[in-house]
Amino acid sequence: MSRFPVKALLASTAALTIASANPAFADPLTPPEYVDYAVKLLGDSISYKTVEGAGNTVAYANYLAGLLRKAGFSADDITVEPMEGTAILIARYKGTGEKKPILLSAHMDVVSANPEDWTRDPFTMVHENGYFYGRGTSDNKFGLTMLMTTLVRLKAEGFQPNRDIILALSGDEETHMKTTAALAERLKGADIVLNADGGGGSIDEEGKPVAFYMQGAEKTYADFEITFTNPGGHSSLPRPDNAIYDLANAALKISKYKFPVQWNDITLESFRQTGAQTAGELGEAMIAFSKNPKDKKAIKIISEQPSLVGQLGTTCVATMLEGGHAQNALPQRAMMNVNCRIFPGVKVEDVQATLAEVIDNPDVQIVLAEDASSSDASPLREDVTGALRKALDRRFPGLPIVPQMSAGATDSVHFRAHGMDSYGVAGLFMKASDEYAHGLNERVPDDAVDGALDHWHTLLTTLAGE
Ligand SMILES: [Zn+2]
């Protein structure tokens, strides 16, 4: 997952910064026993090494299922199923059925981590300097832990939801998302998906909250292998037809092509709000675009920003190259990888067709490297933003809620593809300089647990309780 729409440049001052005793987090909102419960669960979760191929996810899912049974979930309402070398967990908190279910989404797997490269063992949670360190502390075992702990707390409080709340944990979000696809297929028909692996709050380096990002759309990730083949021959006998020249021409054409400008509710609202906080010409352009997405001058200014151009439509860029087999032979094959980030609602095959048109050479072969699933943007829903408003006002009254379209991908892409409105609404507030998801020495501030638990408690009691 990527929490921040514009990734701040990270200084390489990894550990040993100050974090705790942040005044913004001074008043506890959650009964301390649930904060303790969450910290214990997070630590246990880190010790299950749920990287691809390690085969630990079934055991982890069974451990989580045990906790849910202990909290009062009936065994019949919990499913743990081994799948694709990993596992899924589905747990249903039964409601009165007045409304269609809410799905809570998180993933059990983590990106691999090489202990030799880490300062501390990545699979033992270490509490130090005001942080919890370990692989998955932020992505996504923090979010998973918040969901689990909140469900346990709601059971203990005797909360009776007006709709089923279904915990849906995937086991290969970081790799193939086959378990996610299966979950989305099985659980389709839910009204709302709340994803703990997207969105979240940002705080500046002084500890002041800046904004809450609600992820409501994501671009589709797709790699196309573009290949030219040729009979080849001896390089002392050159001919005009040449696989490398063909490929070079194709690359130049792609470099010059711009996909049409697109927009949706999420990107327009995002430009409106971020524009207001951005100085100068760029800020003005963002606001102008939010009012009129056909404004050519605004489009030009925004598209010159690498961090923003992807918000204006589909982008494709050459990323890898290979070709030829000997210094003294005409190349028989030349290939490049073109990586595309496809705007929500656009079909992968349409992008492939556009690339073929742009290259305009009948000899080209374009192959989609791995199945990519595309999805529409979710609408901005008042019930969801209203619940978020309520949750955030308990901590940071009036803090802006900025909708976000991320460059992808989270489990939400599959839920959206099955027609379910899906929102990344993680309760974690972090500084950009603490953001080490997927990286070395991944960590979360220890004082983030209390507020994140309150966040989920408010969201669920609001969306399933009134
Ligand atoms: Zn994640």
Q: Which fold has domain 23-218+376-463?
A: Aminopeptidase (3.40.630)
Residue type for 295, please? D
Expressed in angstroms and rounded, the spacing between residue 406 Cα and the centre of ligand 1 is: 12
> How far separated are the first and last CA of the chain, in Å rounded?
31
For residue 421, the tally of other CB atoms under 10 A from its CB is: 21
- Distance (Å, whole) CA 348 – CA 341: 10
Expressed in angstroms and rounded, the spacing between residue 111 Cα and the centre of ligand 1 is: 9
Expressed in angstroms and rounded, the spacing between residue 180 Cα and the centre of ligand 1 is: 12
pLDDT score, position 18: 30
Expressed in angstroms and rounded, the spacing between residue 346 Cα and the centre of ligand 1 is: 24
Residue type for 208, please? K
Expressed in angstroms and rounded, the spacing between residue 62 Cα and the centre of ligand 1 is: 20
Expressed in angstroms and rounded, the spacing between residue 177 Cα and the centre of ligand 1 is: 11
- Supply angle C-alpha 248, 251, 255, rounded to 5: 140
Expressed in angstroms and rounded, the spacing between residue 194 Cα and the centre of ligand 1 is: 14
Expressed in angstroms and rounded, the spacing between residue 206 Cα and the centre of ligand 1 is: 26
- Nearest residue to 305 (alpha-carbon basis) of 3, 4, 1, 7: 7
pLDDT score, position 13: 26
The structure tokens 């849906």 sit at 168
Expressed in angstroms and rounded, the spacing between residue 159 Cα and the centre of ligand 1 is: 29
Expressed in angstroms and rounded, the spacing between residue 142 Cα and the centre of ligand 1 is: 10
Helix (H, G, I), strand (E, B) or coil at 364: coil
pLDDT score, position 25: 53
Expressed in angstroms and rounded, the spacing between residue 422 Cα and the centre of ligand 1 is: 15
Residue 453 and residue 394 in contact, taking contact as beta carbons nearer than 8 Å: no
- Nearest residue to 81 (alpha-carbon basis) of 164, 168, 152: 168
Mean pLDDT of the chain: 92
- Alpha carbons within 13 angstroms on the beta-carbon side of residue 65 total 21
Expressed in angstroms and rounded, the spacing between residue 96 Cα and the centre of ligand 1 is: 31
pLDDT score, position 466: 66
Expressed in angstroms and rounded, the spacing between residue 363 Cα and the centre of ligand 1 is: 40
- Distance (Å, whole) CA 377 – CA 232: 46
Expressed in angstroms and rounded, the spacing between residue 437 Cα and the centre of ligand 1 is: 8
pLDDT score, position 245: 98
237 Cβ contact partners less than 8 Å away, ≥ 6 residues apart = 330
pLDDT score, position 120: 92
146 Cβ contact partners less than 8 Å away, ≥ 6 residues apart = 38, 196, 426, 427, 428, 449, 452, 453, 455, 456
Expressed in angstroms and rounded, the spacing between residue 1 Cα and the centre of ligand 1 is: 4
Per-residue tens of pLDDT for the chain, all 466 residues: 444 333 332 222 222 223 333 445 567 999 999 999 999 999 999 999 999 999 999 999 999 999 999 999 999 999 999 999 999 999 999 999 999 999 999 999 999 998 988 989 999 999 999 999 999 999 999 999 999 999 999 999 999 999 999 999 999 999 999 999 999 999 999 999 999 999 999 999 998 999 999 999 999 989 999 999 999 999 999 999 999 999 999 999 999 999 999 999 999 999 999 999 899 999 999 999 999 999 999 999 999 999 899 999 999 999 999 999 999 999 999 999 999 999 999 999 999 999 999 999 999 999 999 877 788 999 999 999 999 999 999 999 999 999 999 876 899 999 999 999 999 999 999 998 887 777 788 999 999 999 999 999 999 999 999 6
H-helix or E-strand containing 250?
helix 243-256
Helix (H, G, I), strand (E, B) or coil at 333: strand
Sequence spans of domains, the chain: 23-218+376-463, 220-368
Expressed in angstroms and rounded, the spacing between residue 163 Cα and the centre of ligand 1 is: 26
CA distances, 238 to each of 41, 117, 245, 246, 362 (Å): 67, 49, 12, 14, 22
Expressed in angstroms and rounded, the spacing between residue 457 Cα and the centre of ligand 1 is: 21
- Nearest residue to 427 (alpha-carbon basis) of 181, 104, 20, 109: 104
Expressed in angstroms and rounded, the spacing between residue 311 Cα and the centre of ligand 1 is: 21
CB-neighbour burial class of residue 450 (10 A; exposed 0-12, middle 13-18, buried 19+): buried
Expressed in angstroms and rounded, the spacing between residue 71 Cα and the centre of ligand 1 is: 26
Expressed in angstroms and rounded, the spacing between residue 258 Cα and the centre of ligand 1 is: 30
Expressed in angstroms and rounded, the spacing between residue 141 Cα and the centre of ligand 1 is: 9
Q: Does domain 220-368 have CATH number 3.30.1360.120?
A: no
Expressed in angstroms and rounded, the spacing between residue 53 Cα and the centre of ligand 1 is: 17
- Distance (Å, whole) CA 376 – CA 331: 41
247 Cβ contact partners less than 8 Å away, ≥ 6 residues apart = 226, 227, 228, 321, 323, 334, 335, 336
Expressed in angstroms and rounded, the spacing between residue 358 Cα and the centre of ligand 1 is: 35
Expressed in angstroms and rounded, the spacing between residue 409 Cα and the centre of ligand 1 is: 9
Residue 171 and residue 136 in contact, taking contact as beta carbons nearer than 8 Å: no
CB-neighbour burial class of residue 149 (10 A; exposed 0-12, middle 13-18, buried 19+): buried
pLDDT score, position 374: 84
Expressed in angstroms and rounded, the spacing between residue 410 Cα and the centre of ligand 1 is: 6
pLDDT score, position 9: 25
Helix, strand, coil percentages for the chain (3-state, nearest 5): 35, 20, 40
Residue 410 and residue 373 in contact, taking contact as beta carbons nearer than 8 Å: no
CA distances, 20 to each of 127, 145, 372, 378, 435 (Å): 12, 20, 41, 36, 16
Expressed in angstroms and rounded, the spacing between residue 326 Cα and the centre of ligand 1 is: 42
Q: Which two tokens stand for residue 295?
A: 């404004």
Long-range contacts of 392-399 (CB under 8 A, 24+ apart): 392/201, 392/212, 392/455, 394/29, 394/454, 394/458, 395/24, 395/29, 395/209, 395/451, 395/454, 395/455, 396/24, 396/201, 396/209, 396/212, 399/201, 399/209, 399/211, 399/212
Expressed in angstroms and rounded, the spacing between residue 80 Cα and the centre of ligand 1 is: 20
Taken as a whole, the chain contains a residue count of 466
pLDDT score, position 160: 97
The residues with which 401 forms a beta bridge, in sequence order, are 212
Helical H segments across 321-433, by residue range: 348-359, 382-395, 412-417
